[in-house]
């Protein structure tokens, strides 16, 4: 079964096309056929002006037309398209979605933070790990951060916070929001120690690549702090040159590290695994689970 997922975030829009192949034992193999990322950066409009500009609307429309062509070429049987924090906050978000549907046939859903956390959790990474530890999923985006705690073979909590990399760059996150996230994480993880973090999102994936760690090995909190110090003292241009970052990665990676470090400290997590999961992966798995019932 060939499935597609479109994830329209605050920093970028992604198209993932995968083939789901079930085995007799009930397991499913997901083969990635293509992954395309376009840095639309909708959050830069929304978190400053409250709307998506005409220029960004055109870029979004052109991207969806390209995604529709690719889905046709790959003979995608089912898809799901979701928009997150920036589109949630945009005053003209719903009207843009109607235009996209009329012009491309792609139906985009604006999902809430809780549903975003649910979809990311669908990757079920923690279920294959040690049962005597608690696992904290941390997904840092441009507009929000989704956190899910898995312990004692069950979900303890799923929570979304309006703290994201682009919001931090625009200085639109207040102290009360940081204080609330700190209280929530500390109070809800206190009885589930030790905690191991599981990170998702392009920024933590980039840090993992820089670290040269082997797949399946965790990054330490101290290593993240080292990267944060190192990157904080360099300019965006220096990060692009020294670390081969794209422009749309070079500016958001420092606030992303700030968020990951804060949540790990508050939860008592000394290590973070980076299994290269994300919203698009969860969308693929959710679709297959629903279609194969």
- What pLDDT digit, counting tens, does each position of 198-221 carry? 998 889 999 999 998 888 899 999
- Tell me how far apart the alpha carbons of residues 14 and 144 are, in angstroms, rounded to a whole number: 17
Q: What is the mean pLDDT of the chain?
A: 92
Q: State the Cα–Cα distance between residues 22 and 3, nearest whole angstrom.
A: 13
Q: How confident is the model at residue 229 (pLDDT cuts 50, 70, 90)?
A: very high
Higher pLDDT, 131 or 108: 108
Whole-angstrom distance, CA of residue 282 vs CA of residue 125? 11
Domains and their CATH numbers in the chain: 2-113 (3.30.420.40), 126-277 (3.30.420.150)
> Six-digit token pair at 90?
């945009």
Q: What is the average per-residue pLDDT within 239-243?
A: 93
Sign, Cα dihedral of 136, 137, 142, 143: negative
At 123 the pLDDT is: 64
pLDDT tier, 277 (very low <50, low <70, confident <90, very high otherwise): confident
Count, residues in the chain: 293
**What pLDDT is attached to residue 125?**
62
264 pLDDT tier (thresholds 50, 70, 90): very high
* pLDDT score at 107: 97
Tens digit of pLDDT for each residue in 278-292?
A: 789 889 999 998 898
Predicted confidence at residue 236, as pLDDT, reads 94
Question: Which residues are CB-neighbours of 183 under 8 A, at least 6 positions away?
Answer: none
pTM value is: 0.85
pLDDT score recorded for residue 56: 96
pLDDT (average), residues 228-253: 94
User: What are the C-alpha distances in Å from 52 to residues 68, 99, 142, 172?
Assistant: 21, 13, 15, 17
Confidence band of 25 (pLDDT split at 50, 70, 90): confident
Q: What is the pLDDT of residue 215?
A: 85
Whether residue 10 contacts residue 86, with contact meaning beta carbons closer than 8 Å, is answered with yes
**Average pLDDT, stretch 245-264?**
95
In this predicted structure, what is the pLDDT of residue 201? 86
pLDDT at 51 exceeding the cut of 80: yes
- Residue with more model confidence, 17 or 27: 17
Query: Is residue 276 predicted with pLDDT exceeding 80?
Result: no
116-170 pLDDT, tens digit each: 877 776 665 655 566 678 999 999 999 999 999 998 878 899 999 999 999 999 9
3-class secondary structure, 36: strand
Mean pLDDT, range 253-264, rounded to an integer? 97
| pLDDT at residue 129, rounded to an integer | 64
Tokens of 192: 């589930």
């Amino acid at each position: 079964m060939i499935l597609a997922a479109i994830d329209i975030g605050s920093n970028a829009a992604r198209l993932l096309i995968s083939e789901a192949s079930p085995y007799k034992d009930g397991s499913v193999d997901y083969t990635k056929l293509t992954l395309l990322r376009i840095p639309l950066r909708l959050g830069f409009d929304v978190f400053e002006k409250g709307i998506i500009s005409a220029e960004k609307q055109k870029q979004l429309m052109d991207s969806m037309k390209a995604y529709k062509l690719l889905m046709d070429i790959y003979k995608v049987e089912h898809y799901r398209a979701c928009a997150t924090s920036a589109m949630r906050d945009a005053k003209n978000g719903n009207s843009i979605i109607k235009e996209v549907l009329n012009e491309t046939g792609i139906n985009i859903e604006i999902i809430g933070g809780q549903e975003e956390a649910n979809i990311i959790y669908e990757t079920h990474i923690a279920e294959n790990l040690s049962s005597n530890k608690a696992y904290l999923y941390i997904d840092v985006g441009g507009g929000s951060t989704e956190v899910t705690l898995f312990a004692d073979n069950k979900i303890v909590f799923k929570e979304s916070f309006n703290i994201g990399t682009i919001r931090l760059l625009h200085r639109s996150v207040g102290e009360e929001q940081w204080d609330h996230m700190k209280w929530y994480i500390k109070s809800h993880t206190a009885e589930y120690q030790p905690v191991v973090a599981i990170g998702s999102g392009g920024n933590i994936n980039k840090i993992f690549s820089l670290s040269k760690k082997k797949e399946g090995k965790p990054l330490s909190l101290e290593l993240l702090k080292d990267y944060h110090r190192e990157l904080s003292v360099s300019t965006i241009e220096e990060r692009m040159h020294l670390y081969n970052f794209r422009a749309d990665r070079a500016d958001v990676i420092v606030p992303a590290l700030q968020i990951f470090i804060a949540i790990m400290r508050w939860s008592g997590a000394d290590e973070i695994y980076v299994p290269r999961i994300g919203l698009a992966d969860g969308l693929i798995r959710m679709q297959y689970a629903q279609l194969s019932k």
